[in-house]
């Protein structure tokens, strides 16, 4: 691996000291340690997958095949989540409302829809093993086309649903093929809860990166701290689109606890960011804030007001104004503004070009800050 060289006059004691600093930096700069942090489902693991695609030639065909079962599992869990939510939200299948006033043909359609819903649960097991039968694909396609299912999907902020639900469900014809091999984008869209710590290595701009992806759920956070000591930078991911959602772990408890105990996901992210940004151990660590899922946020803000999360917000529900407000909310948590800068970027973790552009800027910040520590910038 190539090293960056500096040419320095060693004539004076000051120059000698500077040369020693540079030599120290040269030893350090070949390795940059980074931690990707953030609340659950903020896009941390997707960013790490992008590093493999951008800096390690992506996923091989064999690796992609190994994700087939995950794609199928995500697809099935998404449609099941919608069907279950229909009961809780009291949403009927599309033809149910007409069944009492129309003829037997409509009643038959309703019975078929109910049968499809039952069949879904019966047939789901095979897909978990990496197989999607034509029968199961047909059941899912018919359910997904139903107007009641679509109405429930449009209310997904009221229950937990994978961000990639529509991506997979709209492309069932392709992913249900017997010879289906997931694409790089399919792999990026997969959702598997991160438990423990996942380490990724890659090289970029003469730096050898060690990146640690740490679980975002509350139960995982106690495992983080030993990873953080001595890290060069912390990339903190926030899902912009979480402003009107509650935590998945809270919703699981809501079945038997009062709904007032539900925690807004954005508020949870702010608490976590506050605890990391202002931690005394990270005084000299670069904090890089990724305001992620900007594409989902841009669509959602048109129909779901920001006041759900920030009641005091008086601006318009436009992407630019609402996103800027959220940025300020996070940056204002920094209690050392005079000495510590937060480097903020708006990202779409599933967009490889966007992540490549942003990470290029992030790497420049890491290099600049290390040079600054050596008195060379």
Q: What is the CATH number of the domain that holds 171?
A: 1.10.400.10
Are 55 and 72 in the same domain? no
Tell whether 202 is covered by a domain.
Answer: yes
Tell whether 147 is covered by a domain.
Answer: yes
Are 73 and 93 in the same domain? yes
Are 198 and 327 in the same domain? yes
The model's pLDDT over 247-273, given as tens digits with 9 standing for 90+, comes to 655 444 444 344 444 688 999 999 999
Are 163 and 147 in the same domain? yes
Beta bridge partners of 246: 264
- 274 labelled binding-site residue: no
Are 212 and 354 in the same domain? yes
- 141 labelled binding-site residue: no
DSSP-derived pairing of the beta strands 31-38 and 197-204 = unpaired
The model's pLDDT over 82-136, given as tens digits with 9 standing for 90+, comes to 999 998 999 988 865 433 434 344 334 444 455 677 777 777 776 666 678 898 9
Predicted local confidence at residue 163, as pLDDT: 94
The model's pLDDT over 166-186, given as tens digits with 9 standing for 90+, comes to 999 999 999 999 999 999 999
Residues labelled catalytic: 41, 46, 191, 213, 217
Predicted local confidence at residue 209, as pLDDT: 85
- 206 labelled binding-site residue: no
The per-residue b/e assignment along 242-278, b for 16 or more CB within 10 angstroms, e otherwise, is: bbbbbbbebbeeeeeeeeeeeebbbbbbbebbeebbe
Predicted local confidence at residue 103, as pLDDT: 39
* CATH number for position 320: 3.40.50.300
Q: What is residue 13's three-state secondary structure?
A: helix
Are 118 and 82 in the same domain? yes
- 340 labelled binding-site residue: no
The model's pLDDT over 267-316, given as tens digits with 9 standing for 90+, comes to 999 999 998 899 887 888 889 999 999 999 999 999 999 999 999 999 99
Are 170 and 210 in the same domain? no
What is the domain range of residue 51? 33-59+194-360
Are 239 and 152 in the same domain? no
Tell whether 277 is covered by a domain.
Answer: yes
pTM over 0.85: no
Give the total number of structural domains in the chain: 2
* Mean pLDDT, rounded, for 138-163: 93
Tell whether 106 is covered by a domain.
Answer: yes
Which residue has better confidence, 12 or 246?
246
């Amino acid at each position: 691996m190539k090293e960056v060289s500096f040419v320095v006059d060693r004539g004076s004691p000051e120059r000698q000291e500077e040369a020693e600093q540079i030599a120290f930096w040269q030893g350090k700069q070949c390795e940059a340690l980074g931690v990707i942090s953030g609340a659950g489902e903020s896009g941390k693991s997707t960013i790490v997958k992008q590093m493999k695609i951008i800096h390690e030639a992506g996923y091989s065909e064999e690796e992609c095949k190994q994700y087939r079962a995950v794609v199928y599992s995500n697809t099935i869990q998404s449609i099941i989540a919608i069907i279950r939510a229909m009961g809780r939200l009291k949403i009927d299948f599309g033809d149910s409302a007409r069944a009492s006033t129309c003829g037997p043909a409509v009643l038959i359609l309703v019975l078929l829809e109910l049968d499809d819903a039952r069949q879904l649960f019966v047939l789901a097991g095979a897909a978990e093993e990496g197989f999607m039968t034509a029968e199961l694909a047909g059941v899912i396609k018919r359910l997904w086309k139903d107007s009641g299912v679509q109405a429930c999907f449009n209310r997904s902020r009221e229950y937990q649903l994978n961000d990639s639900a529509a991506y997979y469900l709209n492309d069932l014809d392709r992913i249900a093929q017997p010879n289906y091999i997931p694409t790089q984008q399919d792999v990026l869209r997969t959702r598997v809860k991160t438990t423990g710590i996942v380490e990724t290595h890659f090289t970029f701009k003469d730096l050898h990166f060690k990146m640690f992806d740490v679980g975002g759920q509350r139960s995982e956070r106690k495992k983080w701290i030993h990873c953080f000591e001595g890290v060069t930078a912390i990339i903190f991911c926030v899902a912009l689109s979480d402003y009107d959602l509650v935590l998945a772990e809270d919703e699981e408890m809501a079945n038997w606890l009062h709904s007032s105990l539900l925690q807004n996901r954005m508020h949870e992210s702010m608490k976590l960011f506050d605890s990391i940004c202002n931690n005394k151990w990270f005084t000299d660590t670069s904090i890089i804030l990724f305001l992620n899922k900007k594409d989902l946020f841009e669509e959602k803000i048109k129909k779901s007001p920001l006041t759900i999360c920030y009641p005091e917000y008086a601006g318009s529900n436009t992407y630019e104004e609402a996103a800027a407000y959220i940025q300020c909310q996070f940056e204002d948590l920094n209690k050392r503004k005079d000495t510590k800068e937060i480097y903020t970027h708006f990202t779409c973790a599933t967009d490889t070009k966007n992540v490549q552009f942003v990470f290029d800027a992030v790497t420049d910040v890491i290099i600049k800050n290390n040079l600054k520590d050596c008195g060379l910038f």
